[in-house]
Amino acid sequence: MCGRRTCAPGKTYVKLSLMPVASYQVRRATSADEMAAAVALRHEVFCREQGVPEWEELDGRDHEGIHLVAVTDQELLGTCRLLRVGKTIQFSRLAVRSDARRQGIATALLALAEDEARALGARRLVLHAQTYALKLYENAGYRARGRVFVEAGIEHQAMDKTVD
Ligand SMILES: CC(C)(COP(=O)(O)OP(=O)(O)OC[C@H]1O[C@@H](n2cnc3c(N)ncnc32)[C@H](O)[C@@H]1OP(=O)(O)O)[C@@H](O)C(=O)NCCC(=O)NCCS
């Protein structure tokens, strides 16, 4: 299991454990190739691993979004998408490659998302968490809102976080 570390958006993280990821960076996707790799990872994780229909995963809104990625020198390890709706940022499509999980990559992407939201002048981040991963978001300061519901055949919980 990975060693604990503080996540600082835009920084390079060096991993001090036996897991395969040596170091990675979290930042915005910067090229069409990187964007394609992010969409391919989402397809692998959501459609193949979790059985989400492709039409639901590809909702036609990618062009509106800011896409964040976790990358090593050679590989894309994780991604997420931010959509701006007024003063609110909708956080979604968080996916980490299966062999790179439990090393803080999702946590680092959440931290960068918050930084981006602040820079955009947003007041709130909202998301639909898969219930098995609630702790990930609770650890990042998100609060549950309302009841658990089913989306794409998977249990979800709406959560939000106010941006300071
Ligand atoms: C959920 C997901 C994004 C987490 O990515 P990750 O990089 O492994 O997450 P982190 O390493 O930052 O995890 C931080 C904490 O979140 C919680 N967490 C992460 N994955 C978890 C899991 N599978 N089950 C329970 N808790 C989990 C843990 O508290 C973890 O801390 P720990 O490793 O010290 O126990 C990743 O497992 C994934 O891509 N899953 C498939 C797609 C998906 O479910 N996306 C999220 C939709 S809401």
Q: Domain count of the chain?
A: 1
Residue 17 has pLDDT above 80, yes or no: no
Structure pTM?
Answer: 0.91
- Cα-to-centroid distance, 42 and ligand 1 (Å): 15
Provide the domain limits for residue 75: 12-162
Atom 25 (ligand 1): residue with closest C-alpha? 133
Please report, for the domain that includes residue 100, its CATH number: 3.40.630.30
pLDDT for position 164:
86
Classify residue 60: in a domain, yes or no.
Answer: yes
Classify residue 3: in a domain, yes or no.
Answer: no
Distance from C-alpha of 95 to C-alpha of 111, rounded to nearest angstrom: 15
**Sheet strands side by side (includes 23-28):** 12-14, 23-28, 66-71, 76-85, 88-96, 124-130, 154-162, 143-151
- Show the CA angle centred on residue 130, arms to residues 126 and 134, nearest 5°: 80
pLDDT for position 5:
32
- Cα-to-centroid distance, 84 and ligand 1 (Å): 24
Give tens-digit pLDDT for 30-52: 999 999 999 999 999 999 999 99
pLDDT for position 112:
98
Give tens-digit pLDDT for 139-155: 999 999 999 999 999 99
pLDDT for position 10:
54
Classify residue 7: in a domain, yes or no.
Answer: no
pLDDT class of 9 with cuts at 50, 70, 90: very low
- Cα-to-centroid distance, 86 and ligand 1 (Å): 28
Classify residue 101: in a domain, yes or no.
Answer: yes
Q: Dihedrals φ, ψ of 75, to 5°? A: -135, 150
Q: Which residues line ligand 1 (CB under 6 A)?
A: 45, 94-96, 101-107, 129-130, 132-133, 135-136, 139
Classify residue 5: in a domain, yes or no.
Answer: no
